[in-house]
Amino acid sequence: MVSYLINGISLGSVYAIIALGYTMVYGIAKMLNFAHGDVIMIGGYMAFCSTSYLGWPVIPSVLFSVFVCTILGMIIEKLAYKPLREASSLAVLITAIGVSYFLQNAALLIWSSNPKAFPNMVNLPNLVIGDVQISSVAIVTIITSIIIMIALTMFTSKTKLGKAMRAVSEDKGAAQLMGINVNATISMTFAIGSGLAAIAGVLLCSAYPTLMPTTGAMPGIKAFTAAVFGGIGSIPGAMLGGILLGIIEIFAKAYISTQLSDAIVFAVLIIVLIVKPTGLLGKKIAEKV
């Protein structure tokens, strides 16, 4: 029971980190970046290559993976989304799906469809309390995500750039009138989201160590679900949604059915959206005129 809960929180933390990327990008660019899941996969491959082929130690290879994904996120934004800033949201959505397929197929060309065994990145003994055994990967995942959440909350609430990001996500025109460079802010948001995706990729592959070009797709969709579940655009919502989703998934697998667990996860989403269409923490402030 306790170990299920820990595993659920651990999986949920990974969803939360991915969901943060979705929700931040949605908040600022008002678009669903469906290529986000595939950035996770690229992050996984980067860490895999630098450790397995180049023999780098863990920390540098994680940093390398974060670096590559950050740049990748900015390039994707610049080449694929920025030209569509004024286009209809449907065009942007289709483009995002296109980018997603592009990344998957590029990965297929480079690394082939054979699954790669992801190296063990967390070389720590498992924690044993009484008769409960908790994997070290789960602990590292949970701690990492707590650090990320605190750092991100501080960033958006305390720093000038973070506040500017919130200002841009609310009103781009007014933000420009403050002297905020809107394009640079959007680019920075993609950079942060993609950097987080790389970390999520490493954590995810550490827990489920097979790496394929489609590795990012399902977690991407689930994290998107988590972001909507928590209230898309809301950073605390993404955290809460991610963790709840992870717990529900693990408990559904443990007590109900492994095959049906995904169906149960999505059913919960549907129910939440029927009851509270803006998600758990999503809110709409009435406009005063």
Give the C-alpha separation, 224 to 86, whole Å. 24
Q: Which is nearer to another protein, 131 or 160 (CB)?
A: 160
* Residues between 225 and 264 that touch another protein (CB under 8 A): none
Q: Are the CB atoms for 144 and 20 separated by under 8 Å?
A: no
Q: Does 163 bind another protein (CB under 8 A)?
A: yes
* Residues between 172 and 201 that touch another protein (CB under 8 A): 173-182
Binder to another protein among 167, 188, 202, 281 (CB under 8 A)?
A: 167
Q: Which is nearer to another protein, 38 or 77 (CB)?
A: 77
Least separation in angstroms between CB 169 and another protein: 9
Binder to another protein among 171, 256, 257, 270 (CB under 8 A)?
A: 171
Least separation in angstroms between CB 227 and another protein: 18
Binder to another protein among 53, 88, 114, 288 (CB under 8 A)?
A: 288
Q: Does 153 bind another protein (CB under 8 A)?
A: no
Q: Which is nearer to another protein, 50 or 185 (CB)?
A: 185
Size of the site for another protein (CB under 8 A): 22
- In angstroms, the first-to-last Cα distance of the chain is 52
Q: Are the CB atoms for 18 and 146 separated by under 8 Å?
A: no
Give the C-alpha separation, 152 to 142, whole Å. 15
Task: Indicate the burial class of 210 (C-beta count within 10 angstroms; 0-12, 13-18, 19 or more).
Answer: exposed
Q: Which string of b and e fits 172-208 if b means at least 16 CB within 10 Å? A: beebeeeebebeebbbbbbbbbbbbbbbbbbbbbbbe
Q: Are the CB atoms for 251 and 208 separated by under 8 Å?
A: no
Q: Does 285 bind another protein (CB under 8 A)?
A: yes
Q: Does 170 bind another protein (CB under 8 A)?
A: yes
Write down the H helix ranges in 33-83: 36-52, 58-76
Residues that bind another protein in the complex, under the rule CB under 8 A: 160, 163-164, 166-167, 170-171, 173-182, 285-289
